[in-house]
Structure 1
């Protein structure tokens, strides 16, 4: 029987009179690739923020690897993000005055395990071994996104959460990034990916469609 690594029960999020998530029940198994789709305003990014412990629900439960996240202190939530989750954003969030290598090593620093060789190795894996000394402004959008993926992978997280990871990329770089996600899936990583791209979603094991903050049952 497959192990459930992410589970939400009645997950609800309110911002004043706005309810972007309304009673979401969802389970994700270890090693599963789930694509979350839906129109703008359907709650996709809010959902990912809660799954990544960047935000908390107003009501309901979020259980991560058997632990009810509501019981965690903020310090414990930070530790969970560092040790279990790799985050990839549409907006790259790279430190502009740090090189590609230093941006990846910064993630190691927060994990208290700095290893230059490991950082170089993961950048080489994403095809940037020759660009490790370049600043983000000296890299193309596709290269910056690959630095983000390297940063997400450096601490060997079991779970990858990605928010529109190909949203700002041209077709060639989109294909490169997609290949990385396919490799990660083949390695047994759990992937939850928010996307508008139906082609990207076809590679997922399952698609969860959100509509008005709820799972579309006819999906």
Structure 2
């Protein structure tokens, strides 16, 4: 059995198994030349937890999230995902895990400019299994954008594009959601809508890691991991 098959990509993370370790970091480091962006970071995240990662600009938050999402590799230390050492995974196995297990929400929108909002969601469905316009419309309705389904990204505001990105990340019901400043372009009302959606997902057993600079959002998570100069601080 290869490494990717050892990871239960479709595991229903119910509340009665919250002590199952989803993420385990041990002395993780990441260097860019002579600059150490992540410095000897250790922590665990268990199934069903909603964890915040906070710190000033340049503290290593986004670099750490890129490693957790398998978009980057650490220089040293260990990263285990569902008990599997990610250093053992091939590039093809990492692609499968990102597609089927992890929902990614970035600061940049990365929407296909010539596809409508609903088509962008259907494209994400297609890479997972089969496109379903009805399900894609339901996802847009959850974030209050059903009436903008047939608009191109250029016809949407920044906040609307961000909400489409969030819907796209959630369309295939991932077990692990990694979000980098997902409400940075949203007004207060839509920020509350997104945080409420995350809490609903957590109640359904999803595991969520939220990178934010906003202490009000951090206070809504189960606990916060604080970084400074790449190190975890108390």
TM-score by length of 2: 0.89
3-state SS of the aligned residue for 2:146?
Answer: coil
Q: Distance in 2 between matches of 1:200 and 1:206?
A: 11
1:25-174 equivalences in 2 (<5 Å) = 25-174=42-191
3-state SS of the aligned residue for 1:27?
Answer: strand
3-state SS of the aligned residue for 2:123?
Answer: helix
Given that residues 142 and 174 in structure 1 are in contact (C-alpha distance below 8 angstroms), is that contact kept between their aligned partners in structure 2?
Answer: no
Show structure 1 runs of 4+ deviating over 6 A. none
3-state SS of the aligned residue for 1:130?
Answer: helix
CA RMSD of aligned residues (A): 1.2
Structure 2, unaligned runs of 5 or more:
1-17
Q: Distance in 2 between matches of 1:159 and 1:114?
A: 21
- Residue in 2 aligned with 1:7? 24
Given that residues 50 and 209 in structure 2 are in contact (C-alpha distance below 8 angstroms), is that contact kept between their aligned partners in structure 1?
Answer: yes
Structure 1, unaligned runs of 5 or more:
none
Deviations 1:11-31 (A, max 9, x none): 110010000001111100100
3-state SS of the aligned residue for 2:36?
Answer: strand
TM-score by length of 1: 0.95
Q: Per-residue deviation at 1:170?
A: 2.3
3-state SS of the aligned residue for 2:210?
Answer: strand
Given that residues 102 and 175 in structure 2 are in contact (C-alpha distance below 8 angstroms), is that contact kept between their aligned partners in structure 1?
Answer: yes
